Chains A and B, each alone.
Chain A
Amino acid sequence: MDINLLFKIAGIGILVAVLHQVLSKAGRDDQAMMVSLAGMVIVLTIVINEISDLFATVRTVFNL
Chain B
Amino acid sequence: MNIIKIIGIGFLTLVISILLKDVKKEFSLYAVIVGTSIILLLSFDTLKNIVEFLENLTRNLKGDFIEVLLKMTGIAILTEYAVSLCKDTGETAIASKIDFGGKIVLIALSIPVISSTLEGLTKLL
Report the separation of the CA atoms of residues A55 and B74 in the bound assembly, to the nearest whole angstrom: 10
- Interface size grouping (class) on chain B: 20 to 34
Assess the A40–B26 pair: CB atoms within 8 A.
Answer: yes
For A15-53 the 0/1 string (1 means CB < 8 A from B) is 011000000000000000000100110011011001101
The residue in chain A whose Cβ has the minimal distance to the Cβ of B22 is A17
Chain A-chain B contacts (Cβ-Cβ < 8 Å), number:
92
- Chain B binding site: helix, strand, loop or mixed by DSSP? helix
**Residue ranges of B at the interface with A (Cβ–Cβ < 8 Å):** 9, 12-13, 16, 19-20, 23-24, 26-28, 30-31, 33-35, 37-38, 40-42, 44, 47-48, 51, 67, 70-71, 73-75, 77-78, 81
